[in-house]
A = this chain, B = another copy of it.
Amino acid sequence: MTDSTRERILQAAGRVFADKGFQAATVRDICQEAEVNIAAVNYYFGEKQQLYVEAVRRARELRIAQVPFPKRAADSPPAERLRDFVHVIARRMLGTDGEPWQVRLMLREILSPTRACEEMVEDYFRPQFERLLGILAELLPDDTPEYRLRQIGFSVIGQCLFHRVAGEVVQMLTPPDEYRAHYQPEQIADHVCGLVFAALDNLSTHSAPRT
C-alpha cells in the first residue's frame, strides 16, 4: 500500500529470498535492491529471521489479491465450479501476471516449512482445500469416504503444482515448440480438468474403485 521504506524492504526481501533462499540471501543484497541503508532492516524488523517471516506473509497477500476467485452463483453446477477452481489455482501458481517471486517464496515454505508456514496453511491453504473438497463431494457418490475426497483433492493440486516445482525439468523433457504450444497455465488447467473429469465420470458410475 504505502510506498514507505518498510514496504520497499518487504518486497525487495521477497524477491531476494525467493531466488536465493533464506541463508544465501544477504541483508546487504536486500537493502541494495530496496535502495535503503543496511541498518533499516534491523530498525524495522529487528532481525533477518523476522524480516523473512513478514516477507512470506506479504507475498501471499499480494498473490491472492492478483488472482481472485471469480464471482459465480453458489448454485452453479459443481463441474463448472471445479473448472473455475482449477483455473484459478493454476493461474495463481503458474501465471505470469504479477511477479513470479511471490509464488516461489511460498513454494520454499511448502518444501521446507519454517515458522512462517503454519500461518500460510491455516489462513490460505486450508480454506482453499476445504472449498475443493466441497465441490468434489458434489461430484462423487454420497457414500464416498472422506479420505478419498482428500486423496483426489491432492491429486488435483498435485498435477498443477508439479509444473511449478519441476517446470524447468519439464522444459528439458519437452521439445521447445511443443512446450511453447501446450504448457501455458490455461492449457495445463484444461488438461488437468479433462483428466479429472474423465476419472470422476468413471468413478461415480462404477461405484467401486479398482483395487
Contacts and interface: CB of A to CB of B under 8 A. Distances in A.
A192 B170 CA distance: 20
| Copies of this polypeptide in the complex | 2
Contacts of A182: 147, 151
Q: How large is the interface on A (under 10, 10 to 19, 20 to 34, 35 or more residues)?
A: 35 or more
B107 A111 contact: yes
Interface in A171-211: 172-174, 178, 181-182, 188, 190-203, 209-211
Interface stretch (A57-65, A94-102, A152-160): A152-160
Nearest to A24: B23
A169 B110 contact: yes
Nearest to A190: B211
A76 to B, nearest CB: 18
A73 interface: no
Contacts of A118: 172
B196 A178 contact: no
Interface stretch (A3-11, A34-42, A121-129): A121-129
Contacts of A129: 173
A188 B158 CA distance: 12
A173 B120 CA distance: 12
A112 B17 CA distance: 13
Contacts of A22: 24
A20 B159 CA distance: 27
A173 B126 contact: yes
B195 A152 contact: yes
B209 A194 contact: yes
Given A112-B168, A129-B173, A195-B199, 10 more contacts: A110-B168, A111-B111, A111-B165, A121-B169, A147-B178, A148-B191, A152-B195, A155-B162, A194-B203, A195-B196
